[in-house]
């Protein structure tokens, strides 16, 4: 008997219309569907007329369930893995099962689909060439400060009750750091608010956000760049007035004694 396989199936993060045709086909063909919450997945499947055998697969039972599912795949069954929303393994259960399948020599097929982290990154209008997903932000201040110190764009989930506190920590480090607070993505009340860390920390301290939140934080400036201060602001003012960036950097460098190259890199980084 030929072995079966695991198909990782992303599901909508809010709007049920975001499910893909490939995912629906995989769910219809699977011998068993492993899901975090059988009731929630059952509701989604009924929306599309899909019937299938559901088994629970969540953090507390995933090791035992993974062994059971691997055995079923060895017996030729196809297992579809879904989480409550989005792509399994991205801050959701599934890692143990995927690792177990790889170790057992079973095929793992991953289908593309919805991801709150990717949707927020694109919507943030912050640099996307180098970025890091941190899952849920840490609560300890030292660990939170370390997370904000990276030189790449940071994407992280955050409790709406902690958004103001986390942004307050960032504002104390770097009040001008660009941030996007992405709320209720793909849902009726979707909102993306972009601004400086200090502005958004104050806003959400007065009015905490509601719903599911993804924070996107711009890259931390290099230590040398943070020391440029007024010189860099002067370059920005000239550029906003119509000057070419490199010309503006050389003009301000001549007046302040700073490095034109350093000013230009800080402006365009």
The token pair that represents 61 in the structure block: 């039972």
How many angstroms separate the CA atoms of 27 and 21, rounded?
A: 10
Tell me: do 123 and 58 sit in the same domain: no
Show the domain range for 256. Answer: 223-268
Please give the backbone phi and psi of residue 152, each rounded to the nearest 5 degrees, phi first: -130, 160
Same domain membership, residue 237 and residue 169:
no
- Residue 99 sits in the same domain as residue 73: yes
Domain count, the chain: 3
Q: Within the chain, how many helices (H) and strands (E) appear?
A: 12, 10
- Examine the fold and report which residue of 110, 137, 166 is the final residue of a domain before the chain moves on: 110
Q: Are residues 86 and 123 in the same domain?
A: no
**Hunting for tokens 């049920």 — which residue is that?**
16
Within 13 Å, how many C-alpha atoms sit on residue 60's CB side? 2
Say whether pLDDT at 63 is over 90. Answer: yes
Q: Which pLDDT score is estimated for 259?
A: 73
Tokens of 52: 């299938």
Q: Please state whether beta strands 178-183 and 213-217 pair in parallel, antiparallel, or not at all (unpaired).
A: antiparallel
Same domain, yes or no: 57 and 81: yes
| Confidence at 225, pLDDT banded by 50, 70, 90 | low
Q: Reply yes or no on whether the pLDDT at 257 is more than 80.
A: no
97 and 80 together in one domain = yes
Provide the CATH number for the domain around residue 153.
3.30.950.10
If asked whether residues 165 and 261 sit together in one domain, one would say no
Q: What is the pTM for the complete model shown?
A: 0.80
The answer on 258 and 200 residing in a single domain is no
Same domain, 185 and 229: no
Nearest to 217 by CA among 252, 168, 177: 177
Q: In the sheet where 213-217 sits, what is the strand order?
A: 131-136, 153-158, 213-217, 178-183, 191-196
232 and 180 housed in the same domain: no
Question: Both 178 and 92 in a single domain?
Answer: no
pLDDT per residue over 150-208, tens digit each? 889 999 999 999 999 999 999 998 999 999 999 999 999 999 999 999 999 999 999 99
**What's the average model confidence in pLDDT over 15-22?**
96
Task: Answer yes or no: do 135 and 106 share one domain.
Answer: no
* Domain finish residue from 83, 110, 137: 110
Which of 80, 110, 140 is the last residue in one of the domains? 110
The encoded tokens of residue 34 equal 């492993």
CA distance 232 to 88: 43
């Amino acid at each position: 008997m030929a072995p079966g396989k695991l198909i990782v199936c992303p599901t909508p993060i809010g709007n049920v219309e975001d499910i893909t045709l490939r995912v629906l086909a995989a769910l219809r063909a699977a011998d068993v569907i492993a899901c975090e919450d059988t009731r929630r997945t059952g509701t989604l499947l009924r929306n599309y007329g899909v019937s299938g055998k559901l088994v629970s697969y969540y953090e507390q039972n995933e090791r035992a369930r993974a062994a059971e599912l691997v055995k079923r795949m060895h017996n030729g069954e196809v297992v579809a893995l879904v989480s409550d929303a989005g792509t399994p393994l991205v801050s959701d259960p599934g890692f143990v099962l995927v690792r177990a399948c790889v170790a057992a020599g079973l095929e793992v097929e991953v289908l593309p689909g919805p991801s709150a982290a990717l949707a927020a990154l694109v919507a943030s209008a912050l640099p996307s060439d180098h970025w890091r997903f941190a899952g849920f932000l840490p609560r300890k201040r030292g660990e939170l400060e370390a997370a904000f110190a990276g030189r790449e764009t940071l994407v992280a989930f955050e409790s709406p009750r902690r958004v103001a506190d986390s942004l307050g920590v960032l504002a104390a480090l770097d009040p001008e750091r660009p941030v996007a607070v992405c709320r209720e993505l793909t849902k009726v009340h979707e909102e993306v608010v972009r601004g400086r860390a200090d502005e958004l920390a104050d806003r959400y301290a007065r009015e905490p956000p509601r719903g599911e939140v993804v924070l996107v934080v711009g890259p931390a400036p290099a230590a040398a760049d943070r020391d440029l201060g007024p010189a860099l602001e002067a370059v920005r003012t000239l550029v906003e007035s119509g000057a070419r960036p490199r010309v503006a950097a050389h003009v301000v460098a001549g007046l302040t004694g700073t490095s034109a190259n350093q000013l230009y890199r800080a402006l365009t980084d």
